Amino acid sequence: MYLLIGVWGGPNRIYAAIKFFLYTLVGSVLMLVGIIVLYFYGGQTFDILELVKKTYPYEMQFWLFWAFFAAFAVKVPMFPVHTWLPDAHTEAPTAGSVVLAAVLIKMGAYGFLRFSLPLFPDAANSMIVPMLTLSVIAIIYGAVVCLAQTDLKRLIAYSSVSHMGFVTLGIFALNIQGLEGGILQMLNHGIVTGGLFLSVGVVYDRTHSREIKDYGGLASVLPLYAAFFMVFTLASIGLPGMNGFIGEFLIILGGFTASKWAGVLSALGIIIGAGYMLWLYQRVFFMETNQKLIGLQEMDTRRLSHYCP
């Protein structure tokens, strides 16, 4: 990913690639220290199944949890270590943004599920409140910042921060609804946000602009493209009958079971989410048609095939 951004990225690619590298490095170094401690304390083995069978004292679990958390929180990314993501998404080429959104940031959530929770269950149980708080902040903050964005990719990147807040909220609710919703939402986010980045790439290839103000009236110029974008937008919002609804509903249910405030505030995030996505759709596809967009060719079979996973 570092090379994808650094070599094939936009004008600010070096800044974005180095920022991405440094954030990941700092988190990974702390995790490496945690792995080494675990190796010596867990019977000199790296076998995860063997390490999970052992029980560690609470104080050790606490410090190791935070060491692993440093790496996974950067990867998710959780608030306040999310700032590399909008830069990386904005500068990455379309394919890089899709891989980043659909696969790479899920590694952090997978790490929580695969390592942090089973290895350090006592620490995870005692960290519910700070984890839910950080998740809710990510949901609300990511959604509010989206309202102020003028760049299409940057807006979708911040919506990823908000959506990944839902994933971590579900995971750290530590109940079955939250965990199943969190895992399902990882899949949902990969499909929907990957689709949104692909869609932005379709028009960026032709107009070479990601500024929302450079669009307008695209629905009359590219109706098929507008229909695809509408499906991704509605799925991102969480419309019933679409994948986003199931994931977010389970997460809110799980969050509400763990903490009433977390449930209520995360639901507020969905409302703001509907606001910024529909507003984006209105500004890009409706309103007055930008004269520069007239004559753009509708999606051909090759471009449509990009939507096949």
- CB 183, min distance to another protein, A: 5
Q: How far apart are CA 219 and CA 278, in angstroms?
A: 14
Round to whole Å and give the CA distance between 260 and 215: 41
User: Which of residues 84 and 232 has its CB atom nearest to another protein in the complex?
Assistant: 232
- Rounded least distance, CB 55 to another protein, Å: 10
From the CB of 235, what's the least distance to another protein, in Å? 5
Q: What is the signed CA dihedral for 133, 137, 140, 143, rounded to 10 degrees?
A: -140
In angstroms, what is the minimal distance from the CB of 15 to another protein?
Answer: 31
Distance (Å, rounded) from C-alpha 149 to C-alpha 280? 10
Q: Are 90 and 201 in contact (CB under 8 A)?
A: no
User: In whole angstroms, how close is the CB of 145 to another protein at the nearest point?
Assistant: 25
Q: Which residues contribute to the site for another protein (CB under 8 A)? A: 52, 113, 117-118, 121, 124-125, 174-177, 179-181, 183-184, 187-188, 191-192, 194-195, 228, 231-232, 235, 240-246, 250, 253, 307-309
User: Which residue bears the tokens 């389970």?
Assistant: 250
Closer CB to another protein, 242 or 274, in the complex? 242
In the complex with another protein, the residue whose CB is nearer, 140 or 192, is: 192
Shortest CB 106 distance to another protein, Å: 14
Residue 96 or 178 having the CB closest to another protein: 178
* Interatomic CA distance for residues 190 and 204, integer angstroms: 21
Tokens of 202: 């379709």
The nearer residue to another protein, 88 or 192, going by C-beta atoms, is 192
User: Measuring CA to CA, how many Å separate 17 from each of 127, 183, 193, 298?
Assistant: 32, 28, 21, 33
C-beta neighbour count of 286 within 10 angstroms: 14
Structure tokens at 181: 């919703």
Q: Whose Cβ is closer to another protein: residue 149's or residue 185's?
A: 185
